[in-house]
Amino acid sequence: MKIIENKIKFCIKNLKSYEPVLFKGKYKLDANENSYDLPKLIKRKILKKILNIPVNRYPDPEARSLKKILSKKLKVKKDMIFIGNGSDEIIFYLAQSFLEKDDVVIIPVPTFEMYKIISKINAAQVIEIPLTKDFDIDDKNIIKYAKITKAKFIFIAYPNNPTGNCFSKDKILNIIKNTDAIVIIDEAYFEFSEKTFIKYLKKFKNLVILRTFSKAYSIAALRVGYMIANKEIVKILNKIKLPYNANSISQVFAKEVLLNEKYLKDNIKKIISEKEKLYEKIRKKFFVLKSDSNFLFLKVADIKKAKKIFQKNKISVRIFNSGYAKDFIRITIGKKEENRIILNALNKL
């Protein structure tokens, strides 16, 4: 209807919605979730606490008790932490707080698509800088274009999604030191890589770090993410934050998984072990990147054939049909049996 079309914001009129290109399968290895559910021991503890939640009341708008636990764990002040309904919401708030029409955002590609989508929703211009031949970040070109365009944001996933590798630490530090942009480092897979830039927050006021409970902590369904940054950035986001964005049940889940982390570490170790085994077997036949995350990124000669084989075997994986990741497949590390089925499917290519 033209009456509606004429009122759509210009910056989203031709924007394509996020398309993960997933298909239903018995074996769900497409979204980098933790393949292990929460242990029943933790679920029982959580259920007892949920029974005592007055659901007729709004949740704590500041998520104070969750921030207190995170503050102690991360060794940062509580006023440096911002809780969001997933990391996506925090990225959206950052964009709404800082981006004006035609401001520039720089992203290395391929990377997590929501950086680009959210930036464009907020009328920003996105400059994509391809990774180097060895899938590292191109710090020289990022610095060059950040200076020319006076870029507001530079997004860096660490480890990167979909490639799975951690970029060179020195190159990232070079970008932070030599640009005036806010550098947002997304550490969604930190628990698998154990590599972080948190210690640099005091030194660099333009540094923002994102984390999530959706991957290693097995609560993707609850949508809890958090940001660690200097308190001024947190204050700015609090100005526009929707009230009660983190619901009471999600806050309870997040607190309990942090307090019972030791029960989750075994599953993380299993995933890392399975990843190494799968990597060694896949690399004999395919180009596959060494991964610091909970997934593998590999290239196949015939992407259409690969899609048919995975569908036939009821395996759901992330297939890239276009763009900088064209002809690549991203496979989430599953349980031992799921990984065996993956290998059997790949052997048919």
The CA-to-CA distance between both ends of the chain, in Å, stands at 46
CA-closest candidate to residue 218, choices 34, 88, 39: 34
Q: Among 259, 285, 301, which residue terminates a domain?
A: 259
Residues 225, 311 within the same domain: no
Residues 327, 283 within the same domain: yes
Is residue 74 over pLDDT 70?
A: yes
What is the per-residue pLDDT for 5? 73
What is the per-residue pLDDT for 150? 98
Q: Among 206, 240, 259, which residue terminates a domain?
A: 259
Q: How far apart are CA 93 and CA 342, in angstroms?
A: 38
The two three-digit tokens of residue 86, written as one number: 């997933």
Reported as a pLDDT band with limits 50, 70 and 90, residue 104 is very high
Is residue 22 over pLDDT 60?
A: no
What is the per-residue pLDDT for 3? 72
Residues 95, 140 within the same domain: yes
Residues 219, 98 within the same domain: yes
Reported as a pLDDT band with limits 50, 70 and 90, residue 15 is confident
Burial 75-84 (b: 16+ CB within 10 A, else e): ebeeebbbbb
Q: Report the CATH number that the domain containing residue 108 is assigned in CATH.
A: 3.40.640.10
Average pLDDT over residues 204-225: 96
CA-closest candidate to residue 84, choices 261, 209, 203: 209
Residues 34, 44 within the same domain: no
Residues 211, 333 within the same domain: no
Q: Among 243, 259, 275, which residue terminates a domain?
A: 259
Question: How many domains, in total, are found in the chain?
Answer: 2
Radius of gyration of the chain (CA): 21
CA-closest candidate to residue 69, choices 254, 197, 263: 254
| Planar angle of CA 274, 277, 280, nearest 5 degrees | 145
Average pLDDT over residues 104-122: 96
Write out pLDDT tens, residues 296-341.
999 999 999 999 999 999 999 999 988 999 999 999 999 999 999 9
Reported as a pLDDT band with limits 50, 70 and 90, residue 20 is low
Q: Report the CATH number that the domain containing residue 288 is assigned in CATH.
A: 3.90.1150.10
pTM: 0.94
Residues 184, 220 within the same domain: yes
Write out pLDDT tens, residues 187-210.
999 999 999 999 999 999 999 999
Structural domain range at position 317: 2-38+262-346
Residues 95, 124 within the same domain: yes
Residues 71, 18 within the same domain: no
Beta bridge partners of 297: 330
Q: How far apart are CA 319 and CA 323, in angstroms?
A: 11
Q: Cβ-count burial of 151 within 10 angstroms (0-12 exposed, 13-18 middle, 19+ buried)?
A: buried
Write out pLDDT tens, residues 245-298.
999 999 999 999 999 999 899 999 999 999 999 999 999 999 999 999 999 999
